[in-house]
Amino acid sequence: MEKRRSKILYVDHKFCPGCGHGIVNRLVAEVLEEMGEEKGAICAVAVGCSSLMPDTYGVDIVQSQHGRAAAVAVGIKRCRPENMVFSYQGDGDALAIGFSETMYAAIRNENITVILINNNNFGMTGGQMSPTTLENQRTTTSPYGRDVTLTGNPLDVMKLMGTLDVAYLARGTMTDIKEITKTKKYIRKAFEAQKNKLGYSLVEVLSPCPTNWGMTPLNACKHISQVVQTVYPLGEFKGGGK
Amino acid sequence: MTRKLMKGNDAIAEAAIRGGCRFFAGYPITPQSEILEYLSWRMPEVGGVFIQTESEISGISMVYGAAATGARAFTSSSGPGFSLMQEGISYIASAELPCVVVDVQRYGSGLADIFTGQGDYWQAVKNGGHGDYRCLVYAPNSVQETVDLMVSAFDKAEEYRNPVLILTDASIAQMMEPVEFPELKNHNQDALPWAMNGAGDGQNKRHTSIMYYNLDYDNYLKNKYDKIAEKEQQWEEIQTEDAELVLVAYGISSRICAEVVEMARKEGLMVGLIRPITLYPFPIKAFEKLEKVKYFASVEMSCLSQMIEDVVMASKCRPTYPIRGGMKVYEAEEILSAVKDIFAGNAKEVY
Amino acid sequence: MEKLIIHRESCKGCQYCIANCPKSALTMTGPINSAGYMTTEVDGDKCITCGICYNVCPDYVYEILEEEAKA
């Protein structure tokens, strides 16, 4: 069976070697194409490494303010209700500065899909601590390791949204072919929920950040499997059904 | 066409609908919450979208998203909420998308008070947001004018692909005056070349700062705003032809100043009034022909006198005096007394 | 007859493909590309064109095409 590069990925991106963005960009493109929804898709892209996407990702894209991509996506979806509308955000964007917009899109059960790339730091700005930085993880703003007595515990958006009436919540990763296959299924289910007008869907993808973690890509993936997943377990948290 | 008595805020809301707007996202704040309350039932009537957001930041962000799809979208706020919207306005201007933002000014900084003021001039006219951009800024002084400017604001926003601000104040937004509306207009969001509806079979669109893709950005932007400055100045003049002293006032202050001109003339004082209707572009053309005027006085409900700097520039640094209001609405007699001080040489120029 | 195509100029040397290839058909022995990254080579005898490399690659280096088709 032929496997060709998606037309949406029309030019090479500038993500770092081994970055999860590259894979998730492809998975979203494949899902949209397989669903026949790629021609109408509109993306609200966040500030962060996602800001590289307007140059390389072939769907309609609106560059949102830092943290506000979910709200921008809501504005788009309310005016284009038949199009697949999604926000594409990082952990810092969606859960620090954008926490309110992220939560309220879910509280209102807005019919959008949120793709949340979680690499436990603010990547684009050089690796500062983010809401999902692990306890004791060293970052440029937690040089002695994250002290949870000072900074609070890492935030688990699945737990927070678990109390809300939303359509679909899932967390995947992309550390090997098995996980990538599962994550693609989650992304597909999320967009199906939107297409069926069931409401809000969120797929969080644990992603390596080899550059800021100071690891090779393969070791960064090992770190996710062995460490990050123990804090952020994978699976479907709502709407998984059968 | 029937005239009806209507509150300013309600008229703003209805005017937006008449102008083809079908998207509002905003947050309650005194003295403009009636705009939300009105639209919460009126928008559904016309099949539009009304969202009470969790914050003003979310509101302006939703307006950005709506504008990207070609919709006519607006939001409204007052001082503190207007401050929160500034980043969003900068983004919308930067992406060259249209929208309308209404600021119903209240008096003061910080939490401020809820009665009328004119202390957001700097923020609205000189950019509350970061970077180089301008917003077209309209300052109505009656409920009818608010309606007329609100309706045309959506057209201007699309013509220039730029945010348009309506800088009104609590008194004009809360007062009730007779008002006539134009016919209900419907807007075709697909007719606009920037309207996003998915890439289809063609190249995808992206709405982000045009700076990244325009190789001659600096000149392009300067030319854009020079064109607006040349074409869009609007003002009203009262008895300026033979005036020796010209009052400059907008919004609620201008209504009192119109009375002051009458009173001054009865006493033989040659006083006139320039009422800017656009604050950006400031109506410098109104000043250019008034070569014989000796004094200008900027009358604003702002204790630091924000508009006066533009008056000084427009008059090319002729003697300009602040007549400062602030925590109270002026009495016409107070302004007249200040005018007499200027004539008598007892007043202090602004610089 | 399917063939694995390697777009070496897109490769950033992360080695996800090598780690996930079930047949160990990929090795990091290709030429260094113009961005300075080491790239891969495929052993045609071992490769079964399963497409796993295509699925794990963050940079869309791999395509599987019918032999006649030019990439």
- Which string of DSSP letters, residue by residue, matches A21-53? HHHHHHHHHHHHHHHT-TTT-EEEE-SSGGGGG
- Exposed, middle or buried: residue B351 (CB in 10 Å: 0-12, 13-18, 19+)? exposed
- Over range B84-97, report the average pLDDT: 98
Measure in Å the smallest separation between the Cα of C57 and chain A Cα atoms.
7
C48 touches chain A (CB under 8 A): no
Measure in Å the smallest separation between the Cα of A155 and chain B Cα atoms.
21
- Preceding amide of B31 cis, omega within 30: yes
Beta carbons of C51 and A1 less than 8 Å apart? yes
- Over range A76-93, report the average pLDDT: 98
Helix (H) or strand (E) run with residue C18 in it? helix C16-20
* Predicted local confidence at residue A27, as pLDDT: 98
Chains B and C touch (3+ CB pairs under 8 A): no
CA distances (Å), origin B263, targets A60, A84, B260, B267: 60, 63, 5, 7
Between B325 and B268, the higher pLDDT residue: B268
- Over range A231-239, report the average pLDDT: 97
Nearest to A3 among C14, C54, C58 (CB): C54
- Over range B198-204, report the average pLDDT: 95
Rounded to an integer, what is the distance from CA A59 to the centroid of its chain? 17
The B residues from 205 to 234 touching A (CB cutoff 8 Å) are: 205-209, 212
* Predicted local confidence at residue B1, as pLDDT: 59
Which chains contact C through at least 3 pairs of Cβ atoms less than 8 Å apart? A
- Over range C2-8, report the average pLDDT: 95
The B residues from 259 to 318 touching A (CB cutoff 8 Å) are: none
* Predicted local confidence at residue B326, as pLDDT: 80
Closest residue of chain C to A182, computed from CA coordinates: C55
Beta carbons of B88 and A74 less than 8 Å apart? no
A41 touches chain B (CB under 8 A): yes
Rounded to an integer, what is the distance from CA B148 to the centroid of its chain? 13
* Predicted local confidence at residue B329, as pLDDT: 79
- Look at strands B295-300 and B245-248 and give their pairing: parallel
Residue B208 clears pLDDT 90, i.e. is over it: yes
Measure in Å the smallest separation between the Cα of A138 and chain B Cα atoms.
31
- Over range B201-227, report the average pLDDT: 96
- Over range B69-87, report the average pLDDT: 97
Give yes or no for a contact between B75 and B101, defined as CB atoms under 8 angstroms apart. Answer: yes
Interface test with C, best of A1, A4, A9, A221 (most C CBs within 10 A): A4
Distance CA B351, CA C2 (A): 82
> How many other C-beta atoms can be found within 10 angstroms of the C-beta atom of residue B188?
9
Measure in Å the smallest separation between the Cα of A120 and chain C Cα atoms.
19
Per-chain mean pLDDT for chain A: 97
Backbone angles phi, psi at A101, to 5 degrees: -65, -40
User: Is 0.90 surpassed by the pTM of this model?
Assistant: yes
- Binned at pLDDT 50, 70 and 90, residue C67 comes out as confident
**Residue tagged 């040089």 (tokens):** A143
Beta carbons of B53 and A40 less than 8 Å apart? no
- Over range B336-344, report the average pLDDT: 96
Residue C70 clears pLDDT 60, i.e. is over it: no
Measure in Å the smallest separation between the Cα of A143 and chain B Cα atoms.
31
- Over range A29-58, report the average pLDDT: 97
Residue B238 clears pLDDT 90, i.e. is over it: yes
Which residues 6+ apart lie within 8 Å of B324 measured at CB?
B300, B302, B303, B305
Percent of the residues in chain B that have a pLDDT greater than 70, as a whole number: 100
Nearest to A78 among B58, B66, B87 (CB): B66
**Residue tagged 């047949």 (tokens):** C23
Which residues 6+ apart lie within 8 Å of B305 measured at CB?
B298, B322, B324, B350
**Residue among B134, B116, B127 nearest B170 (CA):** B116
C50 touches chain A (CB under 8 A): no
CA distances (Å), origin C31, targets A13, C27, C58, C63: 21, 11, 19, 18
The B residues from 36 to 65 touching A (CB cutoff 8 Å) are: 49, 51, 53-55, 57-58, 61-65
How much of chain A is in helix, strand and coil states, percent to nearest 5? 40, 15, 45
A72 touches chain B (CB under 8 A): yes
Residue B324 DSSP class: E
Percent of the residues in chain B that have a pLDDT greater than 90, as a whole number: 97
- Over range B52-67, report the average pLDDT: 98
- Look at strands B176-179 and B4-7 and give their pairing: antiparallel
Q: pLDDT tens digits, residue range B19-53?
A: 999 999 999 999 999 999 999 999 999 999 999 99
**DSSP letters spanning A131-161:** TTPPTT--BTTBTT---HHHH-PPP-HHHHH
- Over range B231-236, report the average pLDDT: 98
- Over range B79-94, report the average pLDDT: 97
Single-letter residue type at A90: G
Beta carbons of C19 and A22 less than 8 Å apart? no
Distance CA B191, CA B195 (A): 8
**Cα-Cα end-to-end distance for chain B:** 50
Interface test with B, best of A50, A53, A78 (most B CBs within 10 A): A78
Q: pLDDT tens digits, residue range C19-57?
A: 999 999 999 999 999 999 999 999 999 999 999 999 999
- Binned at pLDDT 50, 70 and 90, residue A240 comes out as confident
**Residue tagged 């799809």 (tokens):** B69
Beta carbons of B68 and A68 less than 8 Å apart? no
Give yes or no for a contact between B271 and B222, defined as CB atoms under 8 angstroms apart. Answer: no
Distance CA C67, CA B48 (A): 54
**Residue among A76, A122, A79, A84 nearest A8 (CA):** A84
* Predicted local confidence at residue B6, as pLDDT: 97
Q: Which chain A residues are within 8 Å of C62, Cβ to Cβ?
A: 3
C44 touches chain A (CB under 8 A): no
